[in-house]
């Protein structure tokens, strides 16, 4: 009995660790076909990727973490990029800015 409970515990732990690895939350350069479109506005620096503008941090963007914005959004002086955090093990998804 003791051996089987440790196997179950190890399996559950391995699945929990695997669930925390969010492949969508990765920083990329965002260059499509070797072309990069960047812009600077009063609210920050943005890169065009996949039809939306994303904030640039250290020369990279993270479409899995940040909501894409339209050109109309980023030119508004009060605009702030909003983050999207999706789930993970033991918590529900949340939205923050």
β-sheet bridge partners, residue 84: 95
pLDDT at 49: 92
pTM: 0.62
Q: What are the tens digits of pLDDT across the range 35-75?
A: 889 999 887 899 999 899 999 999 999 988 888 999 999 98
- Which contacts (CB < 8 Å, 24+ apart) does range 82-91 have? 86/22, 86/24, 88/19, 88/20, 88/22, 89/16, 89/19, 89/20, 90/16
CA distance 93 to 36: 31
């Amino acid at each position: 009995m003791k051996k089987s409970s440790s196997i179950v515990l190890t399996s559950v732990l391995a699945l929990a660790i695997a669930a925390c690895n969010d492949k969508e939350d990765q920083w990329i350069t965002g260059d499509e076909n070797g072309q990069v479109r960047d812009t600077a506005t009063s609210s920050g620096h943005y890169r065009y990727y996949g039809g939306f503008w994303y904030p640039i941090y250290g020369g990279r963007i993270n479409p899995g973490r940040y909501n894409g914005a339209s050109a109309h959004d980023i030119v508004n002086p009060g605009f702030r990029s909003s983050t999207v955090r999706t789930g993970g093990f033991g918590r529900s998804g949340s939205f923050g800015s």
